[in-house]
Amino acid sequence: MYKFPKDSKLNDQEFIFGVATASYQIEGATNVDDRCPSIWDTFCAKPGAVYKQHNGDVACLHYHLYQQDVNLIANLGMDAYRLSIAWPRIIKPDGSINQKGLDFYDRVISALEEKNLTIMVTLYHWDLPQYLDDDGGWLNRETAYKFAEYAEVFSAYFGDRIDFYATLNEPWCSAFHGYRDGKHAPGIADDRSAFQACHNLLLAHGLAMPILRKNAPNSKHGIVFNFTPNYPANDSAKDVTSFADDEHTHWFIKPIMDGEYPKTVYQHYIDVMPVIGDDDMGIISTGIDFLGVNYYTRSVIDRDGPYPNYKQVNLSDVERTHIGWEVYQDGLLKLLTDLNQAYKLPPVYITENGAAADDHLVDGAIDDEQRYRYYQKHLSSVDKAIRKGVDVRGYFAWSFMDNFEWSEGYKMRFGIVYVDYKTQKRIPKRSALMFKEFLNSRQ
């Protein structure tokens, strides 16, 4: 069982524990109730883009099994559920509202309300409608305004029934995996495109914030970033490690917190910098009520030629998860304390943290020993961060259940609940049962 000092906030009912998912990864039913195609439907059909050309057509059939899933979340003793909304279910290609999509999320949210679960909604978790990508996607500034219109529709309908609205999930992945290295949809590999997509994503966030506050004045509104803190491989790599942090961490959070991009990165990439409107930085930095932090691992950096060129170093003799990421819980502690020192942070929620494991069903059970050790270590880091003055108020395990892991397809299992994809049976793993024991023991 997860154990923390008796005075730890993690033992307090006011510190919320939850699980997280994303629409394209679990819902399936991609051709049901007038949902239109997303960029991930298109990307998955591209030969070689996704492991064994897996896709989200069926996934975990959450679209039909949501009631069972909500019951399971509640039965595990969780306080909260973080889900994302499929934009392609809400707005049709002609711009009209798809009531069937709103009705689906109404059913899910009603089920969560019946279980008294805190609800955190992410409006954009990477599944951009394909019709918008046909017009340029996140390279087109107009997409930011389309996002604001979508945020208006959804928040006007649900209002304060949603406790937390997050505009975007991991714009780093949307911009850099989607437009810089081509690993994610829409599969573009170009620096200029990546930086322009990043700016338009952050603009979309800024445009949506006043709309969300208007329609849901009693809810909390923020954004979710993924952070992979960089560590120098040696003393001579400290300067390039700092640059790597500016490029991958501060390039995304500094515009929100300070209204500007890091000068080091801007100057180095001056030839591929985005087109920035006169009022854009003011819109982007309108202020947030909470910061969502996604953390999985760290990166070790060494020089790769003249400053600021760098490369990632793969250490030997370190523990790694099934996806190949190093288990490094101290990185979460350092990340939280460093961010707290660099910025005047709002309340922080760990919105994703978890491990992929090579899970196997043995005699009807899954003993995911590495995963529950991973959770214990990282929750201990959260406890230490709170003791050092970081205002962390919640923790969401990634993921509630095994699901479609983007370009890795169904090869990687991140869930605390096992999914048999042939039968769609859900089986709580030992990590889930340990969470339940801990949550039920809180004061």
Active-site amino acid positions: 170, 352
Give me the helix-helix angle, 62-75 and 99-114, nearest 10°: 20
- Give strand pairing partners of 164: 120, 220
CA 121 to CA 81: how far, in whole Å? 8
Q: Is the distance from CB of 310 to CB of 241 less than 8 angstroms?
A: yes
Tally the residues of the chain. Answer: 443
CB 234, CB 240: distance < 8 Å: no
3-class DSSP string for the chain = CCCCCCCCHHHCCCCEEEEECCHHHHCCCCCCCCCCCEHHHHHHCCCCCCHHHCCCCCCCCHHHHHHHHHHHHHHCCCCEEEEECCHHHHECCCCCECHHHHHHHHHHHHHHHHCCCEEEEEEECCCCEHHHHCCCHHHCCHHHHHHHHHHHHHHHHHHHHCCEEEEEECHHHHHHHHHCCCCCCCCCCCHHHHHHHHHHHHHHHHHHHHHHHHHCCCCEEEEEEECCCEEECCHHHHHHHHHHHHHHHHHHHHHHHHCCCCHHHHHHCHHHCCCCCCCHHHHHCCCCCEEEEECCCCEEEEECCCCCCEEEECCCCCCECCCCCECCCHHHHHHHHHHHHHCCCCCEEEEECCCCECCCCECCECCCHHHHHHHHHHHHHHHHHHHCCCCEEEEEEECCECCCCHHHCCCCECCCEEEECCCCEEEECHHHHHHHHHHHHCC
Nearest to 230 by CA among 294, 297, 172: 297
